[in-house]
Structure 1
């Protein structure tokens, strides 16, 4: 439980799923954590969750795409805790549209937001790490969209790919200064079963979207060799590893946390050989907040049958 003892971290993005879980796990391993979000309630709730369990944390409101906000967050974290060792960034805006219908404002918002947040969180965090003599670790959360083309996802794919190669370049710029920059790539997440995909899962007035690139949860599950979706805790453990000295000789690396999706042969469908019904999967799924199980998904939404 002391893998990050005496280290200080900032997590940009503090919702109860990915960002909040990462912040919780960093704190459990001994880090003092600043959790930030564009919503004050989300940042405060994440910090309260951590402190209620004996960790050290405080929340701040800020937009990782805004230079003044990031500068202020980093400065106040250093002022409070005396140093900075870890920065985790998962900020950005998602827009879905096919190329022919893409609005220029949406394109600028998506492509600019992920890359801009990557630059600002890296730049200000690295400067603070150098000022306090830390051998720091900066971690950016990506998506399979950074590695593949997706119909209706031109802006999102371009944005995440930009962040991936930004992180690689930043890793080279900062390596001789003792600061590492790495990335973590999830695919579609388990918590989406009770957030964005709940109507599809439980047939509640759900209609097939017009998006050409849409896929059902069953279709997605059928492509996962490990036969399950990644959970927020899976991403958190990968982030803890990259934040710790256990990965001290790793920089410019991307860790896929995707149940084997990226490396399977494209035409192989695991679900045809080891079938898992998505409704049965849902019955056995626990809703989690900050990485802790709360209740069964079927207790929350009802039985899909």
Structure 2
């Protein structure tokens, strides 16, 4: 199903995990994709894989917390493929687990700069182009930690809450201009980073999910691409839980 034929998309944090799956799914459905990541090996690998599979992709090394990098990212989409129609703002960072008074300010800043400031800067640049052309769709990747508390992860949780706040506010501000903005809130997803942790820890995380397993990057990508598509043309300002029932099972 080539639902994105003729569309150009940006995906941040696309060098692995959820971002990689989103980029691959968009490309398989016809979009030209700009792969944004701070990792050159990861970003080039994903872009090359899409190209070898017959899709269109370029890599643009991007630190989303840097305004000039983000401006260059949008320019790369326009220069490489002639426009920009879709964006997945997925890049984010956590910090070492600790209670709030034990979190180093530098660790908090790093998490917030990438996860929250990075999402803001990307949306700002993307929306500037979308307003000029009267169309566009954005999906921001938050987390279940952006909907409820996340023990010993105050900076990460606050940043992910902020991503949802940006999504909801911007969705209303731009709804009358043909621009839709939504977010997704995954529980633990079996990304390469998560799978690098000890199996006992992975099992503990999976046990918190009523379905008894972690999600997959492809499952997140399928929801993200639906929200970007014309099939979701009346959906904006929404946050979708992708959690195997976890949020419903938690105490109120």
Shorter-chain TM-score tier: over 0.9
Q: Structure 2 matches for 1:104-115, cutoff 5 A?
A: 104-115=105-116
Confirm or deny that 1:223 pairs with 2:223.
no
Q: Partners of 2:250 and 2:41 in 1: how far apart?
A: 43
- Count, aligned residues: 251
Runs of 4+ in 1 over 4 A off after TM superposition: none
Which structure has the highest helix share of the two? Answer: 2
Q: Which residue of 2 aligns with 1:28?
A: 28
Answer whether contact 1:118 1:167 (CA < 8 A) is retained: no
Q: Which residue pairs with 1:239 in the alignment?
A: 224
CA contact under 8 A between 1:15 and 1:42: conserved in structure 2? yes
- After superposition, the Cα gap between the structure-2 partners of 1:156 and 1:55, relative to the gap in structure 1 and judged at 3 Å, is same
State the secondary structure of the residue aligned to 2:191. Answer: helix
Gaps of 5+ in 2: none
Determine the structure 2 residue equivalent to 1:101: 102
1:3 and 1:256 map into 2 onto residues whose CA distance is 23
Task: Report how far residue 233 of structure 1 moved.
Answer: 0.3
Counterpart residue number, 1:146? 146
* Distance in 1 (alpha carbons) for counterparts of 2:251 and 2:205: 13
* Aligned-residue offset at 1:190: 2.2
Aligned-residue RMSD, C-alpha: 1.7
The alpha carbon displacement at 1:15 in A equals: 2.3
- TM (normalized to structure 1)? 0.78
Q: Which residue of 2 aligns with 1:255?
A: 240
Distance 1:238 1:227 in 2: 20
- Maintained 8 Å contact 2:17/2:192: no
Are 2:200 and 1:190 aligned?
Answer: no
Contact 1:19 1:90 (C-alpha < 8 Å) held by counterparts? yes
Shift of 1:193: 8.1
Q: Structure 2 CA distance, aligned partners of 1:155 and 1:250? A: 29
Instruction: Tell me the TM-score normalized by structure 2.
Output: 0.93
- List per-residue Cα deviations over 1:164-189 (Å, max 9, x = no partner): 11111111111121111110111111
